């Protein structure tokens, strides 16, 4: 019975013959225990199930086994096993079954029992163990079936990522974004600000005995910034090179009258003042090449240190609307031209380049200012220090700026003028950097410096000192 089945159709034929013999045996007087043993699924019936499983798969084999006439009442199908695992109640087919009187267990369909035959004994068919289910049955239907997969971790709500396109408070987290945001804020503050006008004319001498520190550039751009803010401004060019005159678009050829005639020949300022092409509120007293010999000619003149001040006071007294600001651009020396500028002014503005050599002559300049204040102009004071040509990439520039602020905390402006290509290009076009490139960093810095100077002038002398 355990021999290998050679072919499928032979196995099916033998199974049918075996079922018929089994049905005939049940009609006879057969020992119930023997019958139950023969119908155990270890016989050909088991071979048929195994063969069907190999051909059509496990699920179909279970269905075919459940439909077998000898197994209908005794075999539990996978569906029953699943139902038992789900509901905890075994199907009726799994319980011991008792054949009803007048019926034969396993009788062939269509046949009836002989009425003359004695009633057969009630045969108790023991339940047949169901085939192994694909899912493991549970011993206790009230307990949940253990899962083969790991339990999912409890879901913890996480904060949704920020996908806003708005500018964050740290300005994107990059240096370029921070710089652009900062410049935009500064421009908006300047555009909305209204600069106060001084109660009287402020005369500032821009001086530093070291050349190349930005004296002329500072004079031109501060004057342009204040004129754009509504102040009336005059620039007096005392440098024989005449760079301030060039930057303001003023004709300073040798045949034109200039500040030289004012100092040497007692010509009034009204005769030499020219309007600047920079702004309608900005005027200029030009310098010519003749000013280079003025140092020698002034030596023999009376009150040689007072000549510019007298001319300026006389001019302001005749004006219907006096200038709000007068900037005097000095040469890089401490001669008579510079002394005339100190005597004519009330304030001194010192531009300091953020380099080591710019500090070497500062002590000598401060000593000369003290001497002039003591002997020639008691109203003179150092009011403003402007840091120029600042390069934030170098440690030296940062050290110089910090040292200047430590020694002159009140006079040093908060605004720092950075190195800028636009600032260097603007004079060659006869313009200030504000007109040449209004949106440049240099233009923004000089406008801020002008606004800071204007606000300081509106304060009382005690506050500004």
Structure tokens at 431: 């313009």
Nearest-5° angle of CA 150, CA 153, CA 155?
150
Domains and CATH numbers, the chain: 1-93+121-134 (no CATH), 198-464 (3.40.50.300)
Q: Are 348 and 342 in contact (CB under 8 A)?
A: yes
Helix axes 307-318, 336-344, angle to 10 degrees: 40
- Is 60 exceeded by the pLDDT of residue 96? no
- Model pTM score: 0.62
Distant-in-sequence, close-in-space partners of 143: CB < 8 Å, separation ≥ 6: none
Residue 448: name the closest of 185, 167, 118 by CA. 185
Type and span of the H or E element at 237: strand 233-237
DSSP E strand boundaries for 78-221: 97-98, 124-125, 202-206
- Is 70 exceeded by the pLDDT of residue 130? no
Give the percent of the chain with pLDDT over 70: 61
C-alpha neighbours within 13 Å on the C-beta side of residue 143: 7
Identify the residue with better confidence: 396 or 51: 396
In whole angstroms, how far apart are CA 4 and each of 39, 50, 370?
A: 20, 12, 127
Q: Specify the length of the chain in residues.
A: 465
End-to-end, the C-alpha distance of the chain in Å comes to 122
Long-range contacts: 142-146, Cβ < 8 Å, 24+?
142/88, 145/85
| Residue 6 binned pLDDT confidence (cut-offs 50, 70, 90) | very low
What pLDDT is attached to residue 255? Answer: 80
Question: DSSP assignment, residue 152?
Answer: P
What pLDDT is attached to residue 386? Answer: 96
Model confidence over 357-399: pLDDT tens digits?
777 778 888 999 999 999 999 999 999 999 999 988 889 889 9
What pLDDT is attached to residue 106? Answer: 46
Report CA torsion sign: 100, 105, 109, 110.
negative
Model confidence over 181-235: pLDDT tens digits?
777 777 777 776 778 899 999 999 999 988 888 899 999 999 999 999 999 999 9
Cα gap 65→441, rounded to integer Å: 92
Structure tokens at 430: 């006869």
| Residue 458 binned pLDDT confidence (cut-offs 50, 70, 90) | low
Over its C-alpha atoms, the chain yields an Rg (Å, rounded) of: 56
């Amino acid at each position: 019975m355990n021999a290998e089945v050679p072919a499928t159709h032979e196995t099916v034929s033998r199974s049918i013959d075996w079922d018929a013999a089994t049905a005939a045996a049940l009609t006879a007087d057969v020992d119930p225990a023997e019958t139950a043993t023969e119908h155990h699924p270890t016989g050909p019936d088991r071979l048929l199930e195994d063969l069907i499983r190999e051909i059509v798969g496990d699920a179909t084999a279970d269905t075919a086994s459940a439909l077998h006439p000898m197994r209908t009442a005794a075999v539990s199908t996978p569906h029953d096993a699943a139902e038992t695992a789900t509901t905890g109640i075994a199907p009726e087919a799994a319980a011991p079954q008792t054949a009803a009187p007048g019926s034969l267990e396993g009788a062939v369909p269509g046949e009836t029992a002989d009425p003359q035959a004695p009633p057969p004994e009630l045969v108790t068919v023991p339940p047949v163990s169901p085939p192994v289910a694909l899912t493991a049955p549970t011993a206790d239907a009230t307990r949940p079936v253990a899962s083969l997969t790991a339990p999912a971790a409890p879901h913890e709500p996480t904060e949704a990522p920020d996908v806003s396109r708005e500018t964050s408070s740290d300005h994107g987290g990059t240096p370029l974004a921070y710089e652009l945001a900062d410049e935009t804020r500064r421009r908006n503050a300047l555009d909305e600000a209204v600069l106060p006008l001084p109660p009287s004319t402020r005369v500032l001498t821009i001086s530093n005995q070291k050349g190349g520190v930005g004296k002329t550039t500072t004079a031109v751009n501060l004057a342009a910034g204040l004129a754009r803010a509504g102040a009336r401004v005059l620039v007096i060019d005392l440098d024989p090179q005449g760079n301030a005159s060039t930057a303001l678009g003023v004709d300073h050829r040798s045949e034109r009258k200039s500040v030289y005639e004012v100092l040497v020949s007692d010509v009034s300022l009204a005769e030499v003042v020219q309007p600047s092409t920079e702004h309608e509120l900005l005027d200029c007293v030009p310098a010519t090449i003749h000013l280079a010999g003025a140092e020698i000619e002034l030596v023999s003149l009376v009150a040689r240190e007072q000549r510019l001040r007298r001319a300026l006071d006389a001019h302001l007294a005749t004006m219907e609307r006096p200038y709000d600001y007068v900037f005097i651009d000095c040469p890089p020396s401490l001669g008579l031209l510079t002394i005339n500028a100190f005597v004519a002014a009330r304030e001194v503005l010192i531009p300091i380049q953020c380099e080591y050599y710019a500090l070497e002559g500062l002590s000598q300049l401060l000593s000369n200012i003290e001497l002039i204040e003591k002997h020639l102009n008691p109203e003179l004071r150092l009011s403003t220090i402007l840091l120029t040509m600042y390069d934030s990439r170098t440690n030296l520039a940062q050290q110089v700026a910090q040292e200047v602020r430590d020694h002159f905390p009140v006079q040093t402006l908060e605004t720092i003028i950075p190195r800028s290509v636009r600032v260097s290009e603007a004079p060659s076009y006869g313009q200030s950097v504000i007109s040449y490139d209004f949106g440049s960093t240099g233009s923004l810095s000089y406008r801020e410096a002008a606004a800071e100077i204007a606000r300081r002038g509106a304060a009382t002398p005690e506050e500004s000192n």
